[in-house]
Copies of this chain bind each other. A is one copy, B any other.
Amino acid sequence: MAIIGFSRTNQMGVSAIVGLGNKADIDEDDLLTFFEQDDNTQVIAMHVEDLKDGRAFAEVAQRVTKKKPVVVLKAGRTSMGARAARSHTGALAGDDQIYDDILRQSGVIRAMSLNDMLEYARGLQILPAPRGENVLILTGAGGSGVLLSDACVDNGLTLMTMPDDLDAAFREYIPPFGASGNPVDITGGEPPTTYRNTIRLALEDERVHALILGYWHTIITPPMVFAELLSEEIERARQVGIDKPVVASLVGDVEVEDAARHLMEHDILAYPYEAEKPVAVLGAKYRWARQAGLI
């Protein structure tokens, strides 16, 4: 039921919703096999209380996840959750350490909450696959840069070691008291041109494989101005064949909600009042790309 409201509000495409019930006949690996071949399905998200046949699941999932991301929300992780699962579907939710091992070996992306499952299902469809491990943070607020850096570590992302020439190129655009290195901190008083120039530089440099933006509300570059210039720059890059994953954390007054909506409509993952969520979705995309052998 959560898929219905979430997908309508967030314009997430849904090819099918299947309720497996008590799995007397069809089970998880049957459905993985089916959706593996369904061209209308880009991402498979599963909410399970148990896996009927762990070995078969791992075997099929290892193959399917090479082609499409599979997100799994495993309910009944804890003793109390497992007890509730037993009385709900009769599921033997079992030892979570064993499930964690099976899921890891299967190459699936494990979501630890309902909302993460939904956000991963949406975000994995939107983000292009990264071509390498170099992640760059570009921020208008040093404080956001710190939170975003923490989130990168939490999600297994690698902050690119900044090459000297690229560092020098960023310095051309940012004030002397801005921080170069990674995060690039353009500081909080910059006009739209600085955002545009630094975003373009990050998009065009082939050594940067993914971009995390920390937007911080200022009068000189208001939220919608930022959103419009970012979507223009990404559109411009896409037209010349550059398509890297870009996510944005938007911090500010209520206008950042409109800015997030504008960016989402242009297939750029952006969240208001969040620092860690966009990085978590990017992290999920990276986990998949590694599993699929793309990087």
B47 touches A143 (CB 8 A): yes
Copies, count: 2
A88 touches B254 (CB 8 A): no
A152-B80, A254-B5 are known contacts. Are A275 and B113 too (CB-CB below 8 A)?
yes
A273 / chain B contacts, CB cutoff of 8 Å: 2, 5-6, 114-115, 118
| Interface residue from B142, B153, B183, B251 paired with A2 (Cβ < 8 Å) | B251
A159 touches B80 (CB 8 A): yes
- The smallest C-beta distance from A192 to any residue of chain B, in angstroms, reads 18
B75 touches A150 (CB 8 A): yes
Please, how many residues of chain A have a CB less than 8 angstroms from a CB on the other chain? 62
A49-B146, A179-B87, A251-B1 are known contacts. Are A78 and B113 too (CB-CB below 8 A)?
no
Q: A47 to B143, alpha carbons, bound, how many Å?
A: 9
The 21 sampled A-B contact pairs (Cβ below 8 Å) are A1-B217, A1-B253, A2-B273, A5-B252, A5-B253, A5-B254, A5-B257, A8-B253, A49-B143, A75-B150, A78-B149, A78-B150, A81-B146, A84-B183, A85-B146, A87-B142, A87-B179, A112-B276, A113-B274, A113-B277, A115-B275
Apart from the given pairs A2-B273, A88-B179, 20 other A-B contacts in the complex at a CB distance below 8 Å: A1-B141, A4-B253, A5-B251, A5-B254, A5-B272, A9-B254, A49-B146, A73-B147, A75-B146, A76-B146, A78-B153, A80-B150, A80-B152, A81-B153, A87-B142, A89-B142, A93-B146, A113-B277, A115-B273, A115-B275
